């Protein structure tokens, strides 16, 4: 199984194409074969039209059929894991074990969302039966639920080539909700994208689903993505990536003649508040936990802990010193793309120049962080942390900005009041973590309440990386963590609801209703019937 470089449009193996580009191996600093054809305008048009044609068939596909399809994709991913991982290693510089785990995670996610589709809780099916004799007016029969919104455009992320890319969370949840999907492949791993896309197409044919269920378009630039978001037949957009990219797409979608929703998971600094009691109880474990969380995947996780908020004390200073020693002893790691690497370097150089900001453990890095950075091989980065005071942080908005890569900012507070002031000024994040000692934990109500207004997931005595894919998880948060202000999650079974809209049937004969709302409840759904949740027929 080797990529051949053409977009996958419906059952056609390749589009017309335009300019070409190649994948890049960041570890070896070389381009990879083959060349990939950027999709042409006609390719975009054909992919979206095919998806729109498939949409009504998909909207009517019962949950169990969707589950079968998602199961078929997950099996194929697992069966071809070795080949997929081999290509992904070249394209991302990520290690084999991590990528193997990620394929398994993507497969598990497809199965979980398939179960959610079959179970149908997300439909929120509700029935109020008629009361023809009600006074003063008869009450009509009303039956309502979420239904698939239509063709969904997905932009995969660069940092999760499996779990949040072609067959990742957005695609899996959109299929589970009954929507055809058009993926704009991330140009950082086009070969991996094509291989995964072909597996999805095999599953489409195997399950007898319509052409247009899935397409995959390549583009080295932004034109194809913009055309997809602006296409009149596109109904919603999923995106995982940078704040700049996500906001640009959200702005495009909001300016359409008919605006459509964009679910963009974007920038997040994931603040970690460490209280004195936690340090007193388990300083060594804190250094170890925080270090591990911050270093995973060379700091290129959306849940990377980017702000560490501490109250100044000898113990806290020792903790940061111990961290500095760990950081200084850390070998460099390969970043995902030369572009990400360049942006990281620019960002740390800019931060190093800011007033009131100093490198953490500069004394351990004889020539300073920039110098060490300059001496590293192309596309690699070593951790560079900074420290600043609460007042400096509060007075300089640039310090609130995410640096994508292995850099975190320690914020020193002189007391608890300053800690609360920092919490109050935080922008939206995917997560916020709080470490407290046994005796002080109970007093943290106000801080917890403040953080609850700022993040989608609050973590107590834990670390932000390592995301459970479950019915209860929330991966979202106030802007700029997401473009929708944290009303939805891009991970977990609740993510299906992003791809639905509400529909209500009034006074319909049973045989004209979708099966989900029929009296016999043929799919065995949980439904709110006259105020009571029930799984049985009515």
Residues 198-227 that bind a second copy (CB under 8 A): none
Based on the shown chain and the rule CB under 8 A, indicate whether residue 521 belongs to the binding site for a second copy.
no
Based on the shown chain and the rule CB under 8 A, indicate whether residue 519 belongs to the binding site for a second copy.
no
Active-site residue, from 102, 302, 387, 427: 302
Based on the shown chain and the rule CB under 8 A, indicate whether residue 126 belongs to the binding site for a second copy.
yes
What is the DSSP secondary structure assignment for residue 153, as one 8-state letter? E
Task: Output the 3-class SS for 118-147.
Answer: HHCHHHCCEEECCECCCCCCCECCEEEEEE
- DSSP structure string for 491-531: SSGGGGGGGEEEEEEES--GGGS-GGGSTT-TT---EEETT
- DSSP structure string for 258-269: S---EEEE----
Based on the shown chain and the rule CB under 8 A, indicate whether residue 488 belongs to the binding site for a second copy.
yes
Nearer to a second copy, 297 or 324 (CB): 297
Based on the shown chain and the rule CB under 8 A, indicate whether residue 522 belongs to the binding site for a second copy.
no
CB of 253 to a second copy, least distance (A): 9
CB of 474 to a second copy, least distance (A): 4
CB of 456 to a second copy, least distance (A): 6
Angstrom distances, CA of residue 408 to CA of 267, 303, 383, 413, 448: 14, 12, 9, 16, 22
CB of 506 to a second copy, least distance (A): 4
Number of residues that bind a second copy (CB under 8 A): 81
Nearer to a second copy, 485 or 537 (CB): 485
Q: Out of 86, 354, 364, 528, which residue is the one contacting a second copy (CB under 8 A)? A: 528
Helices (H), 120-233: 169-177, 190-206, 223-230
Q: Which residue has the tokens 């004889």?
A: 366
CB of 499 to a second copy, least distance (A): 10
Distance CA 320, CA 75 (A): 45
Catalytic, 302? Answer yes
Based on the shown chain and the rule CB under 8 A, indicate whether residue 501 belongs to the binding site for a second copy.
yes
Q: In this structure, are residues 167 and 253 in contact, taking their beta carbons and an 8 Å threshold?
A: no
Binders of a second copy in range 35-94 (CB under 8 A): 55-56, 59-60
Nearer to a second copy, 86 or 528 (CB): 528
Based on the shown chain and the rule CB under 8 A, indicate whether residue 305 belongs to the binding site for a second copy.
no
Catalytic, 349? Answer no
Q: Which of 248, 263, 239 is nearest to 149 (CA)?
A: 263
Q: In this structure, are residues 129 and 141 in contact, taking their beta carbons and an 8 Å threshold?
A: yes
Angstrom distances, CA of residue 163 to CA of 28, 103, 109, 188, 418: 24, 7, 8, 15, 39
Q: Which of 48, 1, 58, 79 is nearest to 207 (CA)?
A: 58
Based on the shown chain and the rule CB under 8 A, indicate whether residue 479 belongs to the binding site for a second copy.
yes
Based on the shown chain and the rule CB under 8 A, indicate whether residue 509 belongs to the binding site for a second copy.
yes
Based on the shown chain and the rule CB under 8 A, indicate whether residue 330 belongs to the binding site for a second copy.
no
Based on the shown chain and the rule CB under 8 A, indicate whether residue 239 belongs to the binding site for a second copy.
no
Active-site residue, from 265, 387, 402, 418: 265
Residues annotated as catalytic (active site), given as ranges: 265, 302
């Amino acid at each position: 199984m080797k990529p051949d470089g053409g977009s996958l449009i419906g059952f056609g193996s390749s589009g017309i194409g335009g300019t070409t580009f190649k994948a890049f191996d960041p570890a070896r600093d070389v381009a990879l074969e083959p060349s990939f054809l950027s999709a042409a305008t006609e390719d975009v048009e054909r992919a979206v039209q095919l998806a729109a044609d498939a949409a009504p068939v998909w909207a009517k596909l019962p949950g169990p059929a969707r589950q079968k399809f998602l199961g078929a994709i997950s099996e194929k991913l697992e069966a071809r894991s070795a080949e997929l991982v081999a290509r992904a290693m070249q394209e991302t510089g990520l290690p084999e074990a991590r990528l193997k785990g990620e394929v398994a995670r993507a497969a598990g996610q497809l199965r979980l969302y398939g179960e959610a589709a079959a179970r149908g809780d997300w439909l929120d099916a509700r029935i109020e039966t008629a009361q023809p004799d009600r006074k003063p007016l008869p009450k009509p029969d009303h039956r309502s639920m979420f239904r698939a919104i239509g063709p969904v455009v997905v932009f995969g992320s660069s940092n999760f080539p499996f779990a949040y890319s072609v067959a990742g969370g957005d695609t899996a949840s959109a299929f589970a909700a009954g929507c055809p999907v058009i993926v704009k492949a991330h140009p950082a791993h086009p070969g991996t994208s094509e291989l995964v896309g072909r597996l999805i197409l095999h599953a489409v044919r195997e399950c007898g689903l319509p052409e247009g269920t899935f397409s995959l378009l390549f583009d080295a630039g932004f034109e194809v993505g913009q055309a997809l978001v602006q296409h009149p037949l596109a109904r919603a957009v999923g995106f995982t990536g940078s704040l700049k990219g996500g906001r640009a797409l959200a702005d495009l979608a909001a300016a359409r003649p008919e605006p459509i929703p964009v679910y963009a998971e974007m920038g997040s600094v994931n603040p970690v508040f460490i209280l004195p009691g936690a340090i007193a109880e388990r300083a060594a474990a804190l250094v170890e936990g925080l270090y591990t969380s911050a270093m995973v995947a060379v700091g290129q996780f959306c849940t990377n802990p980017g702000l560490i908020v501490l109250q100044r004390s000898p113990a806290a200073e020792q903790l940061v010193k111990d961290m500095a020693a760990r950081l200084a002893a850390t070998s460099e790691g390969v970043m995902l793309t030369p572009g990400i690497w360049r942006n990281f370097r620019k960002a740390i150089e800019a931060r190093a120049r800011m007033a009131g900001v100093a490198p953490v453990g500069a004394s351990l890095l004889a020539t300073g962080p920039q110098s060490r950075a300059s001496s590293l091989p192309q596309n690699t980065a070593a951790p560079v942390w900074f420290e600043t005071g609460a007042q400096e942080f509060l007075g300089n908005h640039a310090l609130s900005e995410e640096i994508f890569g292995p850099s975190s900012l320690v914020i020193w507070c002189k007391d608890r009041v300053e800690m609360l002031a920092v919490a109050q000024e935080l922008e939206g994040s995917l997560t916020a973590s709080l470490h407290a000692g046994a005796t002080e934990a109970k007093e943290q109500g106000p801080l917890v309440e403040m953080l609850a207004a700022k993040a989608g997931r609050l973590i107590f005595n834990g670390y932000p990386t390592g995301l459970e894919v479950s019915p209860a998880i929330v991966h979202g948060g106030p802007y700029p963590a997401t473009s929708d202000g944290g009303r939805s999650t891009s991970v977990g079974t609740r993510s299906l609801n992003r791809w639905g809209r509400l529909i209500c049937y009034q006074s319909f004969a049973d045989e004209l209703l979708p099966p989900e709302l029929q009296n016999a409840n043929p799919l065995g759904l949980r439904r709110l019937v006259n105020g009571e949740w029930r799984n049985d027929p009515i």
